[in-house]
Amino acid sequence: MSSGQSAILSDRDVVKKIMDGDRHAATLLVRRTEKLVAQIVFKMLGNHPDRKDLTQDIYLKTFRYLPRFRFQCKLSTWVAQISYTTCLDHLQKYRLELITISTGDELSLGNTCSQEISGDIPDASQLLSIKERSEILEKLSTTLPPVYRTLITLFHKEELSVEEIRDITGLPVGTVKNYLFRARKVLKESLLNHYSKEDL
């Protein structure tokens, strides 16, 4: 299978070829999803030593359950769902913190929520170069709990829709928006604090 042919294969084509024993199609599935899987595993687990083993487990599950895939979403979304669930189970097994962060007052949903999610972080971030802001935000995001880190990455880096994130995580759309809002609020405050310290 040439690279040109691989690029035009649909999800259905890829699954059919894998089911027929085509190893090239299996490799193609991994290539198409490995960046997304790596993002989820890293954001959920950080530098945990089990990361590599979990990634292997994710793909073992993917190929084992492939006959059950019913094309109700994109194949990459389905693989991401397996990735998220596998990491979540691992974190829950060790009773690690998943979503709790201290954000002060409770934040309500509504128009302000969607505006916060879609807009750029204002004020201090406007005084920084794009590269500086990206590096600082990446560093600050490591202080967020795993679920918040993952949602921020899926929405802003992978540019997935709230609906796609819902499909991956199993969280209701309203919850996804709420978590994104809370995480962005913490990042905004951290960025402002960082900039203030740099200015001293």
Q: What's the number of domains the chain is made of? A: 2
In angstroms, the CA 21 to CA 71 distance is 19
Structural domain for 50, as ranges: 3-93
- Does the residue 76 lie in any domain? yes
Looking at per-residue pLDDT, the higher value among 131 and 11 belongs to 11
pLDDT at 96: 58
Rg (CA), the chain: 19
Looking at per-residue pLDDT, the higher value among 84 and 99 belongs to 84
Q: Provide the b/e sequence for 154-170 (b: ≥16 CB within 10 Å).
A: bbeebebebebbbbbbe
- Does the residue 157 lie in any domain? yes
The average pLDDT across 16-24 equals 96
Distances (CA, A) of 167 to 68, 76, 162, 171: 16, 11, 9, 8
Together in a domain, 57 and 131: no
Distances (CA, A) of 62 to 77, 153, 176, 178, 189: 12, 22, 24, 30, 39
pLDDT at 53: 92
Cα–Cα–Cα angle for 55, 30, 95, rounded to 5 degrees: 20
The average pLDDT across 186-199 equals 73
How many angstroms separate the first and last alpha carbons of the chain? Answer: 59
pLDDT at 139: 76
In angstroms, the CA 15 to CA 63 distance is 10
The mean-pLDDT minimum among 111-120, 131-140, 179-188 falls in 111-120
pLDDT at 138: 75
Q: Which residue reads 């299978």 in tokens?
A: 1
- Tell me the three state secondary structure of residue 151: helix
- For the entire predicted model, the pTM comes to 0.76
pLDDT at 17: 96
pLDDT at 117: 35
Q: Confidence band (pLDDT; 50, 70, 90) for 129?
A: low
pLDDT at 98: 59
Distances (CA, A) of 129 to 64, 120, 126, 134, 175: 46, 13, 8, 8, 32
Q: Is the pLDDT of residue 124 over 70?
A: no
- Does the residue 102 lie in any domain? no
Q: Confidence band (pLDDT; 50, 70, 90) for 168?
A: very high
pLDDT digits (tens, 9 = 90+) for 56-79: 999 999 999 999 999 999 999 999
Looking at per-residue pLDDT, the higher value among 119 and 160 belongs to 160
Together in a domain, 76 and 47: yes
Distances (CA, A) of 108 to 54, 114, 173, 177: 35, 11, 14, 10
pLDDT at 179: 94
Contacts of 155 (CB under 8 A, 6+ apart): 117, 162, 165, 180
Which of 59, 93, 127 terminates a domain? The answer is 93
- Does the residue 83 lie in any domain? yes
78, 69 Cβ separation under 8 angstroms = yes
Q: Is the pLDDT of residue 26 over 80?
A: yes
Kindly report the CATH number assigned to the domain that includes residue 7: 1.10.1740.10
Kindly report the CATH number assigned to the domain that includes residue 127: 1.10.10.10
